[in-house]
Amino acid sequence: MLLLFLAIAFSARSAYSQVVTKDVIDFCSLDDPTSCGEGKCIFHHTGNRCKCPDGWMGRRCARPCQDVYRSCTRWLEEGRCSWTRPISPFFTDNCGLSCGLCRSNGLKLPLTLPPILDNIAWFVGRWECKTTAGERFPEPMSGPYREILEVQISDVPMFDRPPVNVSTIAVTNDGRDVHSEVGFMTSKPFLEDTGFVEFNKPKQGDDLVGIETVSNNGLMLIEEGIVRGYVIKLDLKFKRSFFGPNHGPKSAKRMFILVKPDVMEERVIITDSRGVTKKWLKRYKRTFNYLEEYVRVSRQ
């Protein structure tokens, strides 16, 4: 009986000794006067935020003043801009225009990137490259080729993790071989405002990313990995081929590295179905940035 009592007491103590935390996500640093660009960093207990010039909001005051979700006007009517503010900055971060946190200066993006995807904002754009060999992920080309990689802002779903659209087309110099992939990419930051407390969460961790694509050569792939600063690391986790299990890569690792503001490298290590391992590097140049595709609107 005594042992049973001690076991129950120990279990209760263990349950109550858990560390309860809620992520605080700072968009700026009070110690860095440049962290808000032309704005000013303001302390909030739910996370520091930038007070920006008219027309701008978000990290570094680099985001046009506009709503991310189409539901923002309804959320304003429900009072979520006010009663949630002591608990979570989600609605003010994603509905800055409707919630009155900023004023439009007449510029907006056709689609805006959700703040939760700010960690991959540098990856957004149209990237182009030209090769001198036929090596390519996931399948080699018949010779040197030109490639366009599109990472585009997507419509934001109401109840799911927001993605960016990813598409690639590669054409050999003679025009005879064409490979294309379409899919999406999403991210799960280590610091994420879910609205809930968490138990025994470590103090540090990686931001997770994943890409799912289908291709015109019969492959469906899922890659998972991490993003650290301006580096994305991916491992091939799932492969399914219309042509059977021996088609396509056996394993693969990829890295995307931003080496200059509009220059990016892709580094690949791939093992094919015969067990042959190859590695190569490609360099892309950004020819269009969807985060700068501003359009004129009436001021609000």
Question: How many structural domains compose the chain?
Answer: 2
* 126 shares a domain with 101: no
Residue 243 lies in a domain: yes
Give the span between the Cα atoms of 22 and 38, in whole angstroms: 30
3-state secondary structure labels for all residues of 213-257: EEECCCEEEEEEEEEECCEEEEEEEEEEECCCCCCCCCEEEEEEE
**Residues 74, 56 share a domain:** yes
pTM: 0.89
Interatomic CA distance for residues 135 and 279, integer angstroms = 9
* Residues sharing a CB contact under 8 Å with residue 191, sequence separation 6 or more, in sequence order: 23, 24, 25
- What whole-number distance in Å separates Cα of residue 75 and Cα of residue 77? 5
10 Å CB burial of residue 155 (0-12, 13-18, 19+) is exposed
Residue 99 Cα to chain centre, angstroms: 24
Question: Scanning the structure block, which residue is given the tokens 């509905």?
Answer: 95
Q: Are residues 123 and 253 in the same domain?
A: yes
* Pair 54, 194 in one domain: no
Residue 13 lies in a domain: no
CATH number at residue 213: 2.40.128.20
When pLDDT is averaged across residues 93-111 and rounded to a whole number, the result is: 95
Which tens digits make up the pLDDT trace of 185-214? Answer: 999 999 888 767 778 888 889 999 999 999
Last residue of a domain, one of 107, 132, 154: 107
Q: Are residues 93 and 136 in the same domain?
A: no
Contact between 21 and 198 (Cβ < 8 Å): yes
Same domain, 126 and 270: yes
Question: Quick check: 256 and 265 in contact, CB under 8 A?
Answer: yes
List the CATH number of the domain containing 81.
2.10.25.10
Q: Select the more confidently predicted residue: 9 or 130.
A: 130
| Residues 228 and 133 grouped into a single domain | yes
Residue after which a domain boundary falls, among 84, 107, 130: 107
**Locus of tokens 């930051």:** 189
Give the pLDDT band (50/70/90) at residue 300.
Answer: low
d(CA 189, CA 155): 20
Helix, strand, coil share (%) of the chain residues, nearest 5: 15, 40, 45
Look at the chain and count its residues. Answer: 300
Token pair in block for residue 210: 């994943």
Residue 255: inside a domain: yes
**The tokens of 120 are what?**
């991959």
Verify that 32 and 174 share a domain, yes or no. no
DSSP-assigned letters across all residues of 44-64: -TT--EEE--TTEESGGG-EE
Does some domain include residue 16?
no
Structure tokens at 211: 């890409």
Per-residue model confidence as pLDDT tens digits over 49-77 = 999 999 999 999 999 999 999 999 999 99
Task: Give the least confident one: 156-160, 175-179, 294-298.
Answer: 156-160
Instruction: Using the 3D structure, point to which of 87, 107, 127 is the last residue of a domain.
Output: 107
pLDDT at 4 over 50: no
> Rounded distance, CA 283 to CA 259, Å?
9
Q: In terms of residue numbers, what domain contains 189? A: 117-287
